[in-house]
A = this chain, B = another copy of it.
Amino acid sequence: MTDEARTPGALGDVLGLHVRLAHGAIQRHFAETSGEVGLTQKQISVLWLVADWPGTEPSQPDIAQTDIAQALQMDRATTMTLVHSLEKLGLLERRKSAGDARRIGLRPTDAGLAALITARRAIAANEAWLHARFSTSEANVLAELLARIHR
């Protein structure tokens, strides 16, 4: 198919718009149903990443802001805002990396791990709402196609 042929003739043909509207719908639904959680999806993503980071062994370096920025495809400054908001809430703590003094390692606090359990439940509920309209294979296809965009 040539580029000409796929030039959108109507607004509804624009794939980017479908992604944007879907994103908005998901955001809205999460905001409306996650009242008790008190964390945004983005904050939860960060907390989740920090908690899942494999470097719990002393030899491995803790996760740092750069790693989060890369994983979630954000600017360093944007990442800082998120990380500091979680620190302010007492959900993660920061300490200088042993190996590289520029890096500041991040670890979830006990409160952070507890909050993550609640938060993941809210994410799971949101996912269930989302998946309700798809078969398992459709959901897998959707995730794979979307990953091609952001990978």
Where the two chains meet, the residues of A that have a C-beta atom closer than 8 Å to any C-beta of B are 1, 3, 6-8, 10-11, 14-27, 30, 41, 45, 48-49, 52, 72-73, 120, 123-124, 126-128, 130-131, 133-134, 136, 138-139, 141-143, 145-150
Contact = CB atoms under 8 A, between A and B. Distances in A.
Contacts of A146: 15, 18-19, 21-22, 142
A23 to B, nearest CB: 4
A138 to B, nearest CB: 6
A24 B136 CA distance: 25
The main secondary structure of chain A at its interface with chain B is helix
A130 B7 CA distance: 12
A41 B16 contact: yes
How many copies altogether?
Answer: 2
B15 A131 contact: yes
Nearest to A25: B150
Nearest to A24: B73
A32 to B, nearest CB: 13
A26 B127 contact: no
29 contacts: A3-B124, A6-B131, A11-B45, A11-B49, A11-B52, A14-B123, A15-B127, A15-B131, A15-B139, A15-B143, A15-B146, A16-B26, A16-B41, A16-B123, A16-B127, A17-B45, A18-B142, A18-B150, A19-B19, A19-B26, A19-B146, A20-B23, A21-B73, A21-B146, A25-B149, A133-B149, A141-B145, A142-B145, A145-B145
